[in-house]
Amino acid sequence: MSFKALLAGAPVSYIRAHLGEQLCALLDLIEGGTAPDDRLRAVAPIAIDAERLVADEAERSTLIEMVPSPKQAELAQRLGSVGDGQAPLGYLRSLKWTADERRELLEFFGFTIDRVPSLPPAFKQEAAPEYALFPHQRHAAAQVKELLYDGSRRTVLHLPTGVGKTRTGMSLICDHLRQHEPTVVVWLAHGQELLEQAASEFERAWAKVGDRPLPLLRVWGNAPAELTEVTDGLVVLGLEKAVSTVKSDSQFLATLAARSTLTIFDEAHQIIAPTFQRVVDELTIRHDTSLLGLTATPGRTWADISKDEELSDYFSRQKVMLEIEGYTNPVTALIEQGYLAKPLMRTVASEPGMHLSAQDQQLLARSFDIPAVMMAELARDEQWNLKIVQTIMELLKQHRRILVFAASVDHCRLIAAVLSAAGIDAEFVTGESSPRHRSQVISRFKGAGRRPMVLCNFGVLTTGFDAPAASAAVIARPTKSLVLYSQMVGRVIRGPKAGGTATCEIITVVNPELPGFGDVAEAFTNWEDVWETS
């Protein structure tokens, strides 16, 4: 019995109570009056979090009581009832509701549950000698090689988002593996999307330009951190996995360092976080080990110069920035040449809703980014949410794939629910989404379906996500971080020569009280003075 079917028969009072005043008020505002019951029921399966209900004893009991009697019997049998004469509802009430039983209940309601994380697919060797780089990528790679094997043996490759820093990095790795046989290269990154992107890109690259069979180790999540047989190849290592593994195996990084001669750190602006820096320090302790950082934003912050100086110093102030002859800013050239989409960037402001007190303004000024308490308050602002929905609806007239960056997990769910209620194909993914659900939704968003689709997300698609067909982004997540803003904008800026679109629209929906940004070209050169050598 689907969760949607269950809620279709639930009392309207139950639906309204679980949707909450905030969402009901927004739906009323959109309807221009009281939202009808059918609209509330259409929103409910998306907006109401079934996992939270199933986890709560009282809520779970209410859900089960709403299940029709024949379906209660089916559920009881599924959960082990052996026909001992006990009524199905009584049997269901008597259960202890272990984690496995709660998963069974969610599956009974039609949800896909990841019971056992699947291990990554095995590496497959192919032979097709083609892995071309664009001219500007080849020029940057050549400059990196000059710095990577001499002096401090460390540098940052600074490429705009959408210009192929992963592909360029993999070309450099393949060169290194061919020239230093046998050796191990370590790729460090944070987050499943970035890690899988790197592993998949290496499979493509080495299959085309490799000179011998090589192991590819995916070491993140629940994968084993086993290095016994590894003396040659690529280890794609999650930073969190590295930190946690050292707690149980103090020699893990030392063993890896003894066999590796090149470490790549993706999203290099994160490297000076103390826990991550310790990992890198241990991996690069040998004098003949090189360190390459990859980033589109070679600074930690927008305004804290000391942190940016610390990052620059860690890489010996050595950075290769994309250069294109005849242009002072390469982003302008890449747009003109079709490698990047030409962005139409706009900021729209909602009607006054949330207002900051003098104390709030002081807190905002002191904070590195928008404080969570303010973000939560903003996510409840009806006028702001109405402007977000209106902005998306307007974009749907011209765009087939729209990416929305929401302010929180609940805000992400809310926006997707309201759009779905209006008949729009809208999905959401967050850090709480199961890997399988996330993979299915992203695959559909990247697909060739002709029906327009909106993908709302919070916290998972700012890096490691590539959907060239996405031609519009709605930034509904206020931030003071130029790094974060640049990462969000970069998801839709891939141009036609890179499989993307000629133009893209990026709309930032702001509350007049909070900051916003608006120029991708200026963002690229924001940190240059920090990297200048004296």
In the listed set 262, 295, 321, which residue is the last one of a domain according to the structure?
321
User: In degrees rounded to 5, what are phi and psi of residue 111?
Assistant: -90, 145
Most confident of 53-57, 279-283, 502-506: 279-283
513: pLDDT strictly greater than 70: no
Same domain, 307 and 228: yes
The two tokens of residue 74 are 């089916």
**Co-location of 252 and 354 in the same domain:** no
Q: Assign 108 a pLDDT band (cuts: 50, 70, 90).
A: confident
125 assigned to some structural domain = no
Establish if 124 belongs to a structural domain. no
d(CA 34, CA 43): 14
Q: Clarify whether residues 89 and 161 are in a common domain.
A: no
> Tell me, what's the pLDDT at 361?
55
pLDDT in tens, 2-24: 888 888 888 888 988 888 888 88
**Is 240 or 461 the better-scoring residue by pLDDT?**
240
In a domain, 391, yes or no: yes
- pLDDT recorded at residue 364: 47
Q: What is the reported pLDDT for 298? A: 67
524 or 157: whose pLDDT is higher? Answer: 157
In this prediction, residue 128 carries a pLDDT of 37
364 assigned to some structural domain: yes
Query: Both 266 and 315 in a single domain?
Result: yes
Helix, strand, coil in percent for the chain, rounding step 5: 50, 15, 40
Among 332, 325, 296, 80, smallest CA distance to 194 is for 296
pLDDT of residue 369: 52
What is residue 464's predicted lDDT score, i.e. its pLDDT?
Answer: 54
- Candidate ranges 254-263, 338-347, 402-411, 525-534; pick with highest mean pLDDT: 254-263
Average pLDDT score, the chain: 80
Domain contains 122: no
Determine, yes or no, domain membership for 22.
Answer: yes
The domain spanning residue 208 has which CATH number?
A: 3.40.50.300
Mean pLDDT value across residues 248-274: 91
Q: Are residues 181 and 285 in the same domain?
A: yes
- pLDDT, tens only, 452-474: 899 998 877 655 566 677 888 88
> Same domain for 156 and 86?
no
Q: Does 132 have pLDDT greater than 70?
A: yes
Average pLDDT, integer, range 48-63: 88
Regarding whether 515 and 381 lie in a shared domain, the answer is: yes
Q: Which pair of structure tokens corresponds to residue 82?
A: 């052996």
Residue 328 placed within a domain: no
Same-domain status, 176 and 213: yes
The number of folded domains in the chain is 3
For residue 341, count other CB atoms closer than 10 A to its CB: 26
pLDDT of residue 202: 93
**Which domain covers residue 521, as residue numbers?**
338-526
pLDDT recorded at residue 383? 79
Q: Within this chain, do residues 310 and 396 fall inside the same structural domain, yes or no?
A: no
**Cβ-Cβ contacts under 8 Å for 269 (sequence gap 6 or more):** 295, 297, 298, 299, 300, 311, 483
Residue 284 confidence (pLDDT) = 93
CB 245 within 8 Å of CB 225: yes
Where a domain ends, among 263, 294, 321? Answer: 321
Average pLDDT over residues 405-430: 86
pLDDT at 360 over 60: no
Across 241-245, 364-368, 399-403, 422-426, least confident range: 364-368
Q: Looking at the structure, do residues 284 and 180 belong to the same domain, yes or no?
A: yes
Assigned domain for 531 exists: no
Same domain, 208 and 307: yes
Spatial separation of the C-alpha atoms in residues 531 and 316, rounded to whole Å: 9
pLDDT at site 352: 57
Residues 359 and 505 occupy one common structural domain: yes
